Amino acid sequence: MTGTTQKRGGVIFDRDGTLNHDAGYTYRPEDLRWMDGAIDAVRTVNAMGFAALVATNQSGVGRGYFDEADVHRFHAAMEADLARSGARIDAFYHCPYLEDATVAAYRMADPPDRKPNPGMLLRAMADFDLDPARTLMIGDHERDVEAARRAGIRGILYPGGSLLTTLRNGLALLG
How far apart (Å, rounded) are the C-alpha atoms in residues 10 and 128? 8
pLDDT digits (tens, 9 = 90+) for 68-86: 999 999 999 999 999 999 9
CA 18 from chain centre, in angstroms, equals 8
pLDDT digits (tens, 9 = 90+) for 3-62: 567 899 999 999 999 999 999 999 999 999 999 999 999 999 999 999 999 999 999 999
**Is there a catalytic annotation at residue 14?**
yes
Domains of the chain: 8-131+144-174 (3.40.50.1000)
The one catalytic residue among 14, 113, 140, 144: 14
Higher pLDDT, 89 or 1: 89
pLDDT digits (tens, 9 = 90+) for 91-127: 999 999 999 999 999 999 999 999 999 999 999 999 9
**Is there a catalytic annotation at residue 31?**
no
The one catalytic residue among 16, 113, 140, 144: 16
